[in-house]
Every structure is written in C-alpha cells, then in structure tokens.
Amino acid sequence: MSDPLIHAFFVGRAVAEALNEELEKSVTNAFSELGKFDAEQRERLRQFTIAVMERANQATAAVPTQGTSGSTTSRYSSASLDLQATIDELRAEIAQLRVQLQRYRTGSL
C-alpha cells in the first residue's frame, strides 16, 4: 500500500461501511421502540375498553327495572345527562393525553 490514493480510497470505503452499519442500527432501534410504543398503547386501550365495559355492566346491573313509564323516562334523562358528562370528561382527558404525547414526541417534557 505505497500509493496514498489507494489507501485513501479504502479508508473512505471503510468509513462509509461503518456509517452505513451505524445508521442501520439506529433505524432498527427506532422502529423497535416505535413498535413497542404502539403495542403498549394498544394494550392500554384494550384494558381501558375492558374497564369501561365492566363499569357499564355494573351500572346496568345496579339499575332496578320499573314498570311505570314516567319514572323510566326521568331515570333515562338523568342517566343521559350523566353519560354526556362522562363523555365530555373522557374527551377532555383524551385532549390532555394528546398534548402530553405531542410534548413527548417533540422532546419538550
């Protein structure tokens, strides 16, 4: 290897290969972390859905059935207001979570 040009070529080639390997590792790790994050979020959503369904089933079981239509109507209207309040609270929590997620993604936490 007496020719410096040939030596420089092989050094450049080695640097390019090393950079390529590091880039490949970084991309692989990034996709791995993204996959883990996605799986965790799906599991949290599944658990949340199960918890909501359990609460709904418990609330349904706790409500006594009545034969008169007048009391049934008032009970349903109050339950409808409670349901709307719950939906509004859930929407607010989702909005807060989206803001936190955006902050996490931008790294400004």
The domain spans of the chain are 1-62, 68-109
Cα–Cα distances in Å, from 80 out to 46, 75, 84, 106? 25, 9, 6, 39
Q: Is residue 61's pLDDT more than 50?
A: yes
**Does the global pTM surpass 0.95?**
no
Q: How far apart are CA 58 and CA 43, in angstroms?
A: 23
Q: How far apart are CA 80 and CA 84, in angstroms?
A: 6
pLDDT tens per residue, range 5-44: 999 999 999 999 999 999 999 999 999 999 999 999 999 9
